[in-house]
A = this chain, B = another copy of it.
Amino acid sequence: MSMSLSHGDHRFAAVQAGIGQAPWVLDALSDQGVSGGSLHFEADQEIYAEGDEATTFYKVVSGVVRSCKFLSDGRRQIDAFYGEGEIFGFEAGSEHRLSAEAVSDCTVIPYRRRGFDTLAGRDERVAGQMFSYVMRCLERSQDRSLLLGRRSASQKLAAFLLEMSGRRACGNVIDLAMTRQDIADYLGLTIETVSRTLSQFEREGLISLTSARRVCLCNMKGLRELNA
């Protein structure tokens, strides 16, 4: 029987539907001593640093986490935001290649990698789902390369808003956990450009800024058309 590196497999439909959702099978790990309870972090607290030994990976229970890299000049590139149910910090090598920080107060479950490996060896579904998850991360990362390489500030912001809406949607309204600086570092822009572009979107009637962190996507179609 295939271990389902093929992902047309219907058993994983649920996983595939929620982009970035963690393999549900990880839940089982909690019962096998692989997980060590849950951890709480306050906003801006570091979860692990670049170069730290990667003996553990995590799943977000609540709140939002960012993974990022720092440049020698102090600037920052945010690689990804992780929300409820998503996995982060799973590494191929022995060290964390990026650091992870709490964007908002958040709770995460740590999983010991060694324990996970053992379980993955026993249960094909665990391995298969993790594989599926990593493939999904790869797809996201490739999409980001396109975004960062060839898109204008407006296109980046539009894509960002739609991405956030796809994850944390409550109607058209999204509550951003992150600051303008976070958004800028995610999109390869400056905080001023992010702010200006959002203001412009509001003038054009694409969005409405209830407050700085609360955005209403009034015209999703218009936003989508920006990235045709």
A138 touches which one: B69, B113, B141 (CB < 8 A)? B141
Closest chain B residue to A7, Cβ basis: B92
Asked if A2 and B138 make an inter-chain contact with CB atoms under 8 angstroms apart, the answer reads: no
Closest chain B residue to A116, Cβ basis: B5
Task: Choose the segment among A31-39, A144-152, A213-221 that binds chain B (4+ C-beta atoms closer than 8 Å).
Answer: A144-152
CB-defined contacts of A3 to chain B, threshold 8 Å: 3, 120-121, 127
A135 within 8 A of B: yes
A49 within 8 A of B: no
A93 within 8 A of B: yes
Interface centre among A8, A124, A146, by most chain B C-beta atoms within 10 angstroms, is: A146
CB-defined contacts of A130 to chain B, threshold 8 Å: 5, 131
CB-defined contacts of A141 to chain B, threshold 8 Å: 138, 141-142, 144-145
Chain A contact patch, size range: 35 or more
Task: Choose the segment among A71-79, A160-168, A192-200, A201-209 that binds chain B (4+ C-beta atoms closer than 8 Å).
Answer: A71-79
Distance A117 CA – B7 CA, assembled complex (angstroms): 10
Closest chain B residue to A79, Cβ basis: B142
What are 24 A-B contacts with C-beta separation under 8 Å?
A: A5-B116, A5-B117, A5-B127, A5-B130, A6-B114, A6-B117, A75-B150, A77-B146, A77-B150, A92-B135, A97-B142, A121-B124, A130-B131, A131-B131, A134-B134, A134-B138, A137-B138, A138-B138, A138-B141, A141-B141, A144-B145, A145-B148, A149-B188, A150-B188
